[in-house]
Structure 1
């Protein structure tokens, strides 16, 4: 596109060529996509900075770290370790939450008003990918988090290619300074004009973006739920059924039992309740038992949580934990019990599900 054509476009005198007319028509057709995509991200940032600031207050239960921790069990590509590291380093966690929220707010506004639209859309793609990799596995009745991120990814990709050639601040900037039409940074980052590519080059770019969106969206859907080339399944990490992983189970010399426990599946909307703990021998016989009353009376000193947010704690109904909680728990000695020879610790939740941990430290360990 020549500078003369760009100038004519900015003044509203659109050339008669079918390509320019179609570009303008497509820009108007995408207005709803652009504005709503922007509103989605603006809404995420504005809720934290303006309408619900408790989400950014570490002293409140709405603090975003709690939501962040719920994503840890099902996060992909090692992001669970990144989340755990951030949860244990407050300065990094707080900076991350503030920066992420600010980016959402700024990108949302930029898309709604059409300012540096392609650059904003590209950043929104990055946000969608990050959210899908962390939260995509969640969703109790359907794959809610995946659906939102998948749609946002496709919308961002569309806006990155199509720009904002109608009713945008990019157009205002170009009208005031037609020379911007010849600046590569404005053509690639703004949205008033088509990308500075041949028709063949643009088609190849569009198909490459489509391939990425299809592979990423359908691939993650297949991983989380199947229903593509395999039958439907509940996912490697269940978003509905709580699961506890036990490790480092040790029978101490005084008859107490120490173990590490991780709530690594289930819905964050409801806590998990552990109603009973048992030491079992090789023959499956119960050698020691801690019932609901005993678990309810555990002192705070007996539960060392790995994180300061979602935790294990004693409640009126045994041990209670929220999604992503990790802790080292010490069960006191049981009077008249004979725990020697125990090989297994078994926890039972409120639904009657059992979770097993093998003793890894012999009796007499400290």
Structure 2
């Protein structure tokens, strides 16, 4: 019985040069075995945690529902992906289907890579997943850019497997042994990993260099954007993954003396909420016109806080006003006789003071 080489033909019919090339391909395939399996295991782990081991992540009623993680990523997401996240958060059924499909893509891609089935197609999907993860979550990580680091490595691994395939100990290779005619099918060589790509060596070199350039440019550019240290000095990133930041806008003193403003927790860690301990309305000369302490903020009625998303929210907390990462709301503070439009003879400012000592300001207008 003859032994088949990588392209499905009998070994004895090959010249010495061809056998040498086949041996080189076999060596490369064996070298890829570790990264192919671990790349698959990483993605399989992401999907299996949601479908098998931690199904609460796909349960909208659970605290670990994945929508909360999506919203926490929104402030630092790149290239318009923050708008995509916001759109999905506003449309529950699209959000739920998207999370199911994304998780299923991770699970299936991981299984295919570990088994070596349709290796190049699975590697290409893993590249897409890595890019999405880097754009949405790459900025997060309080001590280092954790999400970016893993996704950047997975992107490079996916590019390597897409180009090189992986015939050793793979179902692609087993399928080729059973169906040697597949060696002549272009579609099989493009989506599986059992054989080299069906292109000339000079064309393969151009493709490999183009993939290399795209991988390097994307990884280095996003790293420089998030942390610098390439073309600019090291910096903490446009969006801090460790220090909470509140963006305030549209502050208006209403005719009844109440103060309405828009707040967005657009920086910091999702591991802990931000707590606003006090709010002050000050005139331009520094006079305090109104003040809401932690007790007043913690007793705000539900009707005073209009959250834009149903997941991470602003809400009264035990020490004041509590906000989870990515929360966005229009908040109305009750007025007293000390604060009314007639008392504003000059410009005024609303100040919010958080538990960690930070102060956030916004100019106040009149209705």
Q: Report the TM-score, using the length of structure 1 for normalisation.
A: 0.95
Quote the Cα distance in structure 2 between the aligned partners of 1:259 and 1:303: 10
Quote the Cα distance in structure 2 between the aligned partners of 1:118 and 1:284: 65
Aligned to 2:42: 40
Indicate if the aligned counterparts of 1:243 and 1:265 stay in contact, CA closer than 8 A. Answer: yes
Which of 78, 101, 104 is the matching residue for 2:103?
A: 101
Measure how far apart 1:357 and its partner are.
1.2
Quote the Cα distance in structure 1 between the aligned partners of 2:207 and 2:340: 70
Q: Is 1:8–2:9 an aligned residue pair?
A: yes
Which of 236, 243, 247 is the matching residue for 1:245?
A: 247
- Unpaired runs of 5+ residues, structure 2, are none
Indicate if the aligned counterparts of 2:6 and 2:167 stay in contact, CA closer than 8 A. Answer: no
Quote the Cα distance in structure 2 between the aligned partners of 1:351 and 1:15: 74
- Secondary structure at the residue paired with 2:120? helix
Seen in structure 2, the aligned counterparts of structure 1 residues 13 and 129 have a Cα distance that, compared at 3 Å, is: farther
Indicate if the aligned counterparts of 1:66 and 1:310 stay in contact, CA closer than 8 A. Answer: yes
Q: Is 1:84–2:86 an aligned residue pair?
A: yes
Measure how far apart 1:48 and its partner are.
0.3
Within 5 A, what are the aligned runs for 1:215-254? 215-254=217-256
- Secondary structure at the residue paired with 1:133? helix
Alpha carbon RMSD of aligned pairs, Å?
Answer: 1.7
Query: After the TM superposition, which of the residue ranges 199-208 and 116-125 deviates more from structure 2?
Result: 199-208
Measure how far apart 1:297 and its partner are.
1.0
Aligned to 2:163: 161
Indicate if the aligned counterparts of 2:9 and 2:180 stay in contact, CA closer than 8 A. Answer: no
Quote the Cα distance in structure 1 between the aligned partners of 2:14 and 2:252: 78
Indicate if the aligned counterparts of 2:257 and 2:337 stay in contact, CA closer than 8 A. Answer: no
Quote the Cα distance in structure 1 between the aligned partners of 2:336 and 2:234: 45
Which of 338, 355, 362 is the matching residue for 1:357?
A: 362
Aligned to 2:207: 205
Within 5 A, what are the aligned runs for 1:338-357? 340-341=343-344, 342-357=347-362
Q: Is 1:321–2:323 an aligned residue pair?
A: yes
Q: Report the TM-score, using the length of structure 2 for normalisation.
A: 0.95
Measure how far apart 1:4 and its partner are.
8.9
- Unpaired runs of 5+ residues, structure 1, are none
Indicate if the aligned counterparts of 1:288 and 1:338 stay in contact, CA closer than 8 A. Answer: no
Quote the Cα distance in structure 1 between the aligned partners of 2:13 and 2:273: 62
Measure how far apart 1:343 and its partner are.
2.0
Size of the aligned set, in residue pairs, is: 359
Within 5 A, what are the aligned runs for 1:16-95? 16-17=16-17, 18-95=20-97
Q: Per-residue displacement from partner, 1:15-48 (whole Å, max 9, x unpaired)?
A: 6433221111000011000000000000000000
Within 5 A, what are the aligned runs for 1:276-355? 276-337=278-339, 340-341=343-344, 342-355=347-360
